Amino acid sequence: MNPTYTKKEIEEIAKIVRLELYNSGLFCGPKAIKERLEESDEINPLPSESTIGRILSRHGFTHGRTGNYQ
C-alpha cells in the first residue's frame, strides 16, 4: 500500500526532484518532474504538470540560473 502524502510533502518532493534533475544536467521542467514522480510509483496523489509548474514558480525555480544548487 502506497503512503498518502500531504500537499506540503508533495511540494517538497517536487522541489527535491527538480534540484536532482537540474544538478544532473537533465531537463527539469514540470513534465520531467511528473515523469520522475510516476516512475517512483509511491507518490499518492500524483500532482498534475500545471500544479508542479505552480510549485516551481512559487519557490523561484523558474528563473534562468547557472551553476549547481547547494
Q: What is the pTM of this model?
A: 0.82
Residue 70 confidence (pLDDT) above 60: no
**b/e code 17-42 from CB counts within 10 Å (16+ = b):** bbeebbeeeeebebebbbebbeeeee
In this prediction, residue 38 carries a pLDDT of 93
Render pLDDT for 23-45 as a digit per residue (tens, 0 to 9): 999 999 999 999 999 998 888 78
Averaged pLDDT for residues 7-30? 93
Q: For residue 51, count CB atoms less than 10 angstroms from its CB and return exposed for 0-12, middle for 13-18, buried for 19 or more.
A: middle
CB contact at 8 A, 61 and 46: no
Could you state, in order of their start, the residue ranges of all structural domains in the chain? 7-58
In this prediction, residue 42 carries a pLDDT of 83
In this prediction, residue 43 carries a pLDDT of 83
